[in-house]
Structure 1
């Protein structure tokens, strides 16, 4: 039977972004870049302390700083930037009504109130529970309530996105959802399903426990719910970068989207295989049957497929574009990519960083190899390759055109040049710091600890050398943060007035029409839920039935990744 195709022109419709919409989108960006500076400063203090040459002043606790760094950068910066980026993509491709804009503002203020509550408790020293807030570590109830509000606010924003697509589909019957709107819908769906886990553990377990209404907390249940959320969180960070790679970078280099169908398929596969895999973060966890750990590890490796599809698509786009411009030879197309355009350079370096980052992820998810690096600073180095390099450099690349587009200004040659310097500084600093973390992790150095001298003799000397390297790399990185914040302020307030392009690529003219089944949301959601139920139902029931009564002892291994 022939596959039904959506018959629509490959040219995309680009809608104008008015000043009211731009103010909404920029509000999320302001919070994101304030978070970048604050979180980056906390990271700098961390590497200084770990070097063994610096002590925090004014009685500031290392784990307080560590919590600020993880929460502000891992949750606040990323979530605000992504939601602002989502709104801008939706506004450009399917539009946003005045009523939807009001609800979007509601989402923003709910998130801001939650963020202030959470940050206040951390700064007061009443929530030094690290990024993962593992029990039996306990924070002030306001910390958990604030986290819940941030999640609820993000849900409201997601409902706005879905409503935008729904109304667009009603006005365009039989047409395929614009690619970027389709991608935003997938990522929002992934976030909503995944964040149900962290919302459940916060609302049902942590808040009653911290308020004193419950004397005990089931630690294994709380960790399982957290990592049900924690791993897809990584893809919630990553998929906006993939949106830029698939649909925006081709326009910047003067090309077209290689395959609309392949891009949609890769996002659907990310939805399938990024959620039911949280056990690979709990491989050394007692109380989880090894069979289910194995099953979830196998599902984890499936996510390599859409990643490889993306790599193929991007380099096919690069080569086709270069050869169409007349650049011959085996690598002539590569040599003539727009290396002097920071809108391309920053995301491209992020793509390259994902090669070793992805390889490290396979090691983290492999049962035997995970035993070598589990709870070592290797894992921290891995996060800094994937999130802090691949994702952040792509976000920076997006900012170079999105911020001036929203503020009615221009990316000038001088700012572009400064952006290239910033990209180089960031790459050097991260290479030094992350590389030292990976090597020191292989030597057994623990993560999350302010104490650097666990071992004795020569090993301490080795560790100190790598810790100094981390401090050097972290210092260079902070210089990169200062440069990026300066560029953001320049683009938002002081760059010359003008019209900066919102670059969205169209598909190749001779591309095959997109199969109609990509619009079958009931199918994609149904398969996702089925995979989650298969991977979690039996082991979760087993965890609850066989958990020991009462509170878990404090010698439980609280450092799992």
Structure 2
């Protein structure tokens, strides 16, 4: 096991002022985890048919809280907090101006989060995390969500400012790999979230205020999914940052290839945005050619995913053989399985294998017709975000939080962290597995079990609904465990120095070509793909808007 406690002079610390900004985001993320996780537990208990929500709380109310807090708030806050620390660690301490911009963004986001959450708690916004029209929420909910997006842009600007400063100070040199990855993720986030911002500001807010009577539902869903699928990669790329850059250092190895890592991230930028129609394959009003095109582009993300798998397992094998591993798989046994910083993210990596296979099914026209709008999709969602991404975030928290707080992960907490990951994987296997199976039987997603009470088909679903409740209960135990560990690392762990591990590139790797960091080329290609995939179908939606909505086609 790589030593957790190290001497201060052996590594670079993130500046304490930057650390406070990063920690502020992480605090909100774990508060969202607790509240959102509790609501998730309530959902699976209700669907089991053995539990009724008290005090007049609605099923869709807790479903909305669960989706918004875990799908949008937990992820966005943790990612931005992690990326602030990563930029500070690899490109240098933020200036006072950059840090001020970051704090402004944080408070704008937090004001929006509080406003939107209050409306959901008052049952004025039970519209799920996708907030599809014609479901309508209170205008304060939409304003709150808009502030979350705008605030995230402001935090992103602070990080981009530091990156630009580093590039100007180091002309002709490739930027630090981790900083480069952060900027790719922010570029994707800003480009894709423009879609949901337009939907909320120009369609949903005027509609909820009564300024217009109707909203173009097809256009609003298209704008959402222009954002909604890249959102998955906004979650996933920080996990890839940990895999590519952090894990090699933790296991004592080297980054297999800097150039391959940069290429895979740029390919994700290109192929993750113009693909939203694969979530709309069953919807009329979109020509089949454009659906087919976006399905093809969706499948292209298999390429950077396979590049990542190759790079990671090459790193693992090389390190395992350095440690004396023999035979075909002897290297595998030599990896540091007793180190939570490696083992917890590795479980997340393993979960991405079935998750990726499910994603191919979801994006395939014929197979999608079988599982579309069933709870199969929810099961897939819980393998990708709630297992691959979340477990990697947990693993990162076990060194990031003590690094920022000046504490250490003790042997006891390290062991508990591994137990937590096993509990999480076990609970998720039961819950997500039941969702996949009953989804194939036709059980709908976004639905309270009682909606189908008395139906013969629903009776057949009962064992699987109960299995979901069992798995969900185990997962909530996992949430309690991780919150206990995080609290320990924040306030109670022994004082000490913990490394922010950043891997070095293998001396055998090829030199990184500068064209991989030529933003003019990559952003031009990205925008061209988006315009090609969306211009004609969106124009047709506007031209063929339903009767009565032509007066406000955009809003």
TM-score, reference length from structure 2: 0.96
2:478 equivalent among 472, 476, 480:
480
Give the structure 1 partner of residue 149 of structure 2: 151
Computed over aligned residues only, the root mean square deviation of the Cα atoms, in angstroms, reads: 1.2
Q: Is the 8 A contact 2:226 2:275 kept in 1?
A: yes
1:297 equivalent among 282, 295, 302:
295
1:366 equivalent among 364, 367, 374:
364
Q: Is the 8 A contact 1:453 1:460 kept in 2?
A: no
1:520 equivalent among 505, 518, 522:
518
Q: Is the 8 A contact 2:110 2:148 kept in 1?
A: yes
When structure 1 is superposed on structure 2, of 459-468 and 81-90 the one drifting more is 459-468
Matched, 1:79 2:91: no
Aligned-pair CA distance for 1:458: 5.4
Q: Is the 8 A contact 2:13 2:500 kept in 1?
A: no
Give the structure 2 partner of residue 555 of structure 1: none
Q: Is the 8 A contact 2:173 2:514 kept in 1?
A: no
Q: Is the 8 A contact 1:452 1:464 kept in 2?
A: no
Give the structure 2 partner of residue 35 of structure 1: 32
C-alpha distance in 1, partners of 2:77/2:147? 13
Give the structure 1 partner of residue 305 of structure 2: 307
- The number of residue pairs the alignment matches comes to 540
C-alpha distance in 2, partners of 1:364/1:185? 29
Paired residue secondary structure (2:449): coil
1:160-180 residue CA offsets vs partner (Å, 9 max, x unmatched): 111111101111111111000
Q: Is the 8 A contact 2:12 2:500 kept in 1?
A: no
Change (3 A) 1:86 1:122: same
Q: Is the 8 A contact 1:14 1:92 kept in 2?
A: no
- List aligned pairs for 1:429-468, cutoff 5 A: 429-452=427-450, 454=452, 459-468=457-466
Aligned-pair CA distance for 1:16: 2.8
Aligned-pair CA distance for 1:132: 0.6
1:130-163 residue CA offsets vs partner (Å, 9 max, x unmatched): 1110111000000000000000000011111111
2:544 equivalent among 543, 546, 552:
546
- List aligned pairs for 1:213-292, cutoff 5 A: 213-292=211-290
Give the structure 1 partner of residue 354 of structure 2: 356
Matched, 1:62 2:59: yes
1:180 equivalent among 178, 181, 189:
178
Aligned-pair CA distance for 1:479: 0.1
Matched, 1:44 2:41: yes
Aligned-pair CA distance for 1:512: 1.0
Paired residue secondary structure (1:248): helix
Q: Is the 8 A contact 2:87 2:159 kept in 1?
A: yes
- List aligned pairs for 1:300-339, cutoff 5 A: 300-339=298-337
Aligned-pair CA distance for 1:453: 6.3
TM-score, reference length from structure 1: 0.95
Aligned-pair CA distance for 1:488: 0.4
Aligned-pair CA distance for 1:452: 4.9
C-alpha distance in 1, partners of 2:549/2:127? 18
Q: Is the 8 A contact 2:239 2:393 kept in 1?
A: yes
Give the structure 2 partner of residue 115 of structure 1: 113
Aligned-pair CA distance for 1:315: 0.4
Give the structure 1 partner of residue 3 of structure 2: none
Aligned-pair CA distance for 1:14: 6.7
Aligned-pair CA distance for 1:215: 1.0
When structure 1 is superposed on structure 2, of 313-322 and 94-103 the one drifting more is 94-103
C-alpha distance in 2, partners of 1:327/1:139? 58
C-alpha distance in 2, partners of 1:448/1:224? 19
C-alpha distance in 1, partners of 2:456/2:534? 45
Give the structure 2 partner of residue 409 of structure 1: 407
1:110-143 residue CA offsets vs partner (Å, 9 max, x unmatched): 0000000000000000000011101110000000
1:21 equivalent among 18, 21, 36:
18
C-alpha distance in 2, partners of 1:14/1:200? 44
Aligned-pair CA distance for 1:429: 0.3
Give the structure 1 partner of residue 133 of structure 2: 135
Q: Which runs of 5+ in 2 are unaligned?
A: 1-9, 551-555
C-alpha distance in 2, partners of 1:175/1:469? 54
1:198-232 residue CA offsets vs partner (Å, 9 max, x unmatched): 00000000000001111110000000000000000
Q: Is the 8 A contact 1:51 1:452 kept in 2?
A: no
Q: Which runs of 5+ in 1 are unaligned?
A: 1-12, 553-561
1:481-535 residue CA offsets vs partner (Å, 9 max, x unmatched): 0000110000010000000111110000121110110121010100000000000
C-alpha distance in 1, partners of 2:197/2:349? 32
